[in-house]
Amino acid sequence: MKIFSGCSNVPLAEKVANELGLRLSPIEFHIFPDGERRVKLNDTVIDEDTVIIQSTAAPVDQNYMELFFIIDALKRSGARSITAVIPYLGYQRQDHVFRDGESVSLQVMIRIMESLEVDNIISIDLHSIKIPELFHIQVKQLSALPLFAEQIKKLSQQKECSLVSPDLGGLRRIRMISELLDNMPWVATVKDRDLQSGDISIKSFEGDMALLKKRVCIVDDMISSGKTIVQSVQLLQKNGVEEFYVFATHPVFSKDATTLLQDSVISKVFVTDTVRIPVEHRFPKLEVLSVADTIAAELQEK
């Protein structure tokens, strides 16, 4: 097996390769003065099973293009199989038409990858259960929930905890992690979104409020602007919760999310390394858990 990495998350790709006792195969990246990109594989792949690791987080379009070019280069160079490991799948929140006249951006990305003849996709904690069905190729979905469950178990051994999903879209996720934690009690806050402006408001709950403890662990798939988490925390606080721990797989961290989180009453924010966090987006309350072992274990099984 030969493993290549795009530029979006080299530290994660290196960790995965290390876990497998391999080194990343070299690629030459070049940017022309007009911004066009060129990639060139500097390793032979004829009849090899190949893996390309690339998170399609910001800059989303650039990272997707780079992924497409590497897949194309692998195909043209005679790879036997191509597995694209996309720890964070960009555009996954645009997986269907919300308002008439919209494109389904995720579907566009999927069509391109399929036309380039990728054999398999591996991704982590996809936004919706329906996303794998949009692909005509095999998609393996891995999860960071077991990593989060380990941390939540430690927190609940110190003090009783309940789980919280910050929106109803996360109910499946919260039930899954609750099961991993011997059916730890959970509630959800209910998020409404203005489909045009994207503004959100969180004002009510779903579930049995009697189950809400003073310490909660909020679990979500991603943090982008940070508003979902912060508004959920505000409502929980009004309802007697005193301690907040946040768990989100993908640290998308757009706008001033990191300041919002650091300046909040939240004690700690656990995320994973599916998205590389630049130094300027790191903050004292942040702890990053690695999904490298999870990805490596899946590749080993192939």
Q: Chain centroid to CA 254: how far?
A: 14
Residue 297 Cβ vs ligand R5P, minimum distance, rounded to whole Å = 26
The CB-of-298 to ligand R5P minimum distance in angstroms stands at 23
Q: Smaller CB distance to ligand R5P: residue 156 or 224?
A: 224
Q: Do residues 135 and 112 lie in contact, with contact meaning Cβ atoms separated by under 8 Å?
A: no
C-alpha to C-alpha distance for 101 and 106, rounded to whole angstroms? 15
Give the separation between CA 23 and CA 32, rounded to whole angstroms.
Answer: 28
Q: For ligand R5P, which is the closer residue by CB, 71 or 252?
A: 252
- Minimal distance, residue 117 CB to ligand R5P, in Å: 31
Three-state DSSP at 47 gives: coil
Nearest to 204 by CA among 171, 173, 174, 238: 238
Q: Which is nearer to ligand R5P, 207 or 226 (CB)?
A: 226
Q: Which is nearer to ligand R5P, 221 or 273 (CB)?
A: 221
Decide: helix, strand or coil at residue 263: coil
Residue (48 or 221) nearer to ligand R5P, CB = 221
Using DSSP, state whether 34 is helix, strand or coil. coil
Minimum CB–partner distance for residue 142 and ligand R5P (Å): 17
- How far is the C-alpha of 158 from the C-alpha of 229, rounded, in Å? 23
CB of 219 to ligand R5P, least distance (A): 10
How far apart are CB 166 and ligand R5P at their closest, in Å? 6
Q: Are 48 and 2 in contact (CB under 8 A)?
A: yes
The encoded tokens of residue 29 equal 């990246």
2 or 227: whose CB is closer to ligand R5P? 227
Q: Given the rule CB under 6 A, which residues bind ligand R5P? A: 166-167, 169-170, 220-228
